[in-house]
Amino acid sequence: MKRVLFDIAALIARVITGVIFVAHGWQKWQGGHSAIASGFGEMGIPMPELAAGYAMVVELIGGVLLIIGLAVRPVALLLLVNMLGAIIFAHWGKGVFVGEGGWEFAAALAALCLLFLALGGGRIGIDGILSSMFRRRHERRAAEEDLVSYRPNRTDTTTGTTGSYGGTDTGSYGGPTTPARSTTGEPPDVPRQPGAPQQEPRQSRLNDEDMREIDSLVADEPPQHRKPPNR
């Protein structure tokens, strides 16, 4: 909300200041360069012809640029120099009031130019539109570069190729995956976890006679009963 209020206030101040400068610049253009240079010479301004040409161009063209909001900061700097020259050489020593030739009007314009130089002309203008376009383009380009650099490559489980994070058969984000089933019917060789106790192979509890009885049952033969041992 504060930024919107600043943009509106900057637009109003920029347009009013630009109209004032355009009016004074156009007045100088109507008077002619030689007449303005002669008047500057009478005021004691050094290099009056150069100063007159500078004031005519900067006030007229700079005022238009302020109104449309193009190159606000450079234009504000040029107009600030113009107003400081007017205060020092034309209005200083004549008091404050403009009716007596004082510096109040020129100082007010100089203060506005100083604000534009420091803060810019706001977003409502050509500078603001161009800045917003370039910023969005830069953000879009940065987002595309981040997407390309962080996009994971899925591992092909049939070929066992390596993913983007350097792991073999680790899935799309480098995490462990379930071992593939063996096509030969044998259980997969699952690696033993570190620190896990190694299990000993189980030993059969059946003796030879029990195994013979089982074989006879399978072969449909009567089992041979064992004789009890003599006591």
- 203 has pLDDT over 50: yes
Query: Which tens digit of pLDDT belongs to each residue from 51-105?
Result: 999 999 999 999 999 999 999 999 999 999 999 999 999 898 889 998 888 999 9
Q: What does the H/E/C string look like for 154-169?
A: CCCCCCCCECCCCCEC
pLDDT at position 97: 93
Structure tokens at 123: 């977003």
Report which DSSP code applies to 88. I
Q: What angle do CA 223, 224, 227 make, to 5 degrees?
A: 140
Q: pTM, whole model, 2 decimals?
A: 0.62
Helix (H, G, I), strand (E, B) or coil at 136: helix
Structure tokens at 101: 């030739």
Query: Which tens digit of pLDDT belongs to each residue from 73-87?
Result: 999 999 999 999 999
Q: Identify the H or E element spanning 74.
A: helix 72-86
pLDDT band for 110, please (50, 70, 90 cuts).
very high
